[in-house]
Amino acid sequence: MTASHRRHPRALALPLGTAMATALAFLPNATATAAPAAPAAPAAATKADAPSLSYVVNVRPGQAASARVEKAIGEAGGSVVIAYDRIGVIVVHSSNPGFAAAVRTVRGVDSAGATRTAPLPAQSTTDVGTPKVLSDEQVADARAADGQDPLEPLQWDLPAIKADKAHEKSLGSRKVTVAVIDTGVDDTHPDIAPNFDRAASANCVSGKPDTTDGAWRPSASESPHGTHVAGEIAGAKNGVGITGVAPGVRVAGIKVGNPDGYFYTEAVVCGFVWAAEHGVDVTNNSYYTDPWYFNCTTDPDQKALVDAVTRASRYAERKGAVNVAAAGNESYDLAADSITDPVSPNDSTPSDRVIDPRTCYDIPTQLPGVVTVAATGAKGLKSSFSNYGLGVIDVAAPGGDSTAYQKPEPPATSGLILGPLPGGKWGYMAGTSMATPHVAGVAALIKSTHPHASPALVKALLYAEADATPCTDPYDINGDGKVDAVCEGSKNHNGFYGWGTADALAAVTR
């Protein structure tokens, strides 16, 4: 199976009934060792026509705005965009190619690095995937049973995690908010509007929150990814469209994907900090942080990106949020001794590089404390595209797969995941991007059942309540007689399904 590696949203947008052909995932490069450090260059020496880049400068928390550091940033040709003092991350723009090397020598600076390899703004535009949109006739022809939303019979993924049974007990609490850190959310969609939390929503693309009304929405030319994800989590049970995993909780949109589809570090940091400071209980992260699929801590620039996003995600967890992230769609064994990353840096000129997963990380997916989610198809097997790895995958959930590989039982017709799209539409998508909101929804139901539970307890319950799913052995998903991936581990904990398949019913009854 050939996958076209492009950028971001960890979704596979595939026509109904076709084989997997397009992988939309964030593939970062990591082992590209940095060039020798350039000598410090004062602002006055910066070339007027040099491209401006964005940087993160990491210092001791509480010292981000210190006069010494600010002076050093200015002398190195940088201008501060925003300083997140509580986590010690400063976002800076500079056209001095030696900026990062210069500020790394400053006392009090822990790390510093460019968040991109393309100038501000990124000049590339590439396809982020086109969902299979339901026609008006298909929507009108849907036939639901009593108590179901019209399109719910097409959602094989809900009974796969017992969400349909869970809804008989609880829809979740409106005191719980899940933030979709993504490409933006169309809060005017009829499946999302009833549960939208405006106060917890913002646009973080620049690295600095913008709360202008509607700033969190995607434009007509931007990806529908975040809207689809939001509906999977909290699509209202209101007699319209689909039903979310937790249709009684609230959902917020924190836009971090720029118009070209890149999720840069400064935006991701802003997203986590915004969620932390606005009462969010769960964050959904169906992306990787560009431009590197894997960020290697042996490279000073990439190390700074790992540091910054780690600080931000940990801050969100300390403030009460459970962070849930997609494992990725490249069929990588994330526990292997080495991985070849062909797509990083994805905002300029990528090249094949062999990375060591012990020192190079997919962020935020592989950061401490983050729930890492693998995808399953309609037959409950690991999706053909899903990354895996013993000790890396925490839990699995429906993300869809080619109907040719895993066909659902009627009345469902597609092996992909149905969800809302901007403009009042619905459509199918697939990927670990779609598995993650199922887990985020289950986490929201756990938080609804146990309102005083800490993030650590919510995660412990999520894993303990998951349905143990043994390894698929041999795993020959396309039936060609060749093993496509090797699962390691026991029935209760393995590389394909982690602690098991998420269980929504257990979340509301235990």
pLDDT at 169: 98
Length of the chain: 510
Number of domains in the chain: 1
Q: Say if strands 322-326 and 282-285 run parallel, antiparallel, or are unpaired.
A: parallel
pLDDT at 49: 62
**Quick check: is 259 in a domain?**
yes
Task: Give the confidence band of 67 by pLDDT, cuts at 50, 70, 90.
Answer: confident
User: Is the model's pLDDT at 96 over the cut of 70?
Assistant: yes
Strand, coil or helix: 469? coil
**Quick check: is 209 in a domain?**
yes
pLDDT at 126: 37
Q: At what angle do helices 432-449 and 455-465 cross, to 10 degrees?
A: 110
**Quick check: is 166 in a domain?**
yes
**Quick check: is 333 in a domain?**
yes
- Distance of alpha carbon 61 from alpha carbon 87, whole angstroms: 5
Q: Encode pLDDT of 333-385 as tens digits.
A: 999 999 999 999 999 999 999 999 999 999 999 999 999 999 999 999 999 99
Q: List alpha helices for 300-353, DSSP H.
A: 300-318
Provide the greatest CA pair distance for the chain: 72
User: Is the model's pLDDT at 149 over the cut of 90?
Assistant: yes
Domain of residue 429, residue span: 131-509
**Contact in structure between 271 and 256 (CB atoms under 8 Å):** yes
**Quick check: is 110 in a domain?**
no
pLDDT at 130: 74
State which amino acid sits at residue 406. Q
CATH of the domain at 246: 3.40.50.200
Please report, for residues 7, 40, 112, 296, 410, the alpha-carbon distance to residue 105 in angstroms, rounded to integers and kept in the order given: 33, 9, 10, 20, 63
User: Is the model's pLDDT at 10 over the cut of 90?
Assistant: no
Mean pLDDT of the chain: 90
Percent of the chain with pLDDT over 90: 83
User: Is the model's pLDDT at 285 over the cut of 50?
Assistant: yes
The phi, psi pair for 444, rounded to 5°, reads -65, -35
**Quick check: is 4 in a domain?**
no
More confident residue, 142 or 412: 412
User: Is the model's pLDDT at 225 over the cut of 90?
Assistant: yes
**Mean pLDDT of all residues in 86-115:** 97
**Quick check: is 60 in a domain?**
no
Which secondary structure element, helix H or strand E, spans residue 433, and what is its range? helix 432-449
**Contact in structure between 7 and 128 (CB atoms under 8 Å):** yes
**Quick check: is 34 in a domain?**
no
Radius of gyration, CA atoms only, the chain: 22
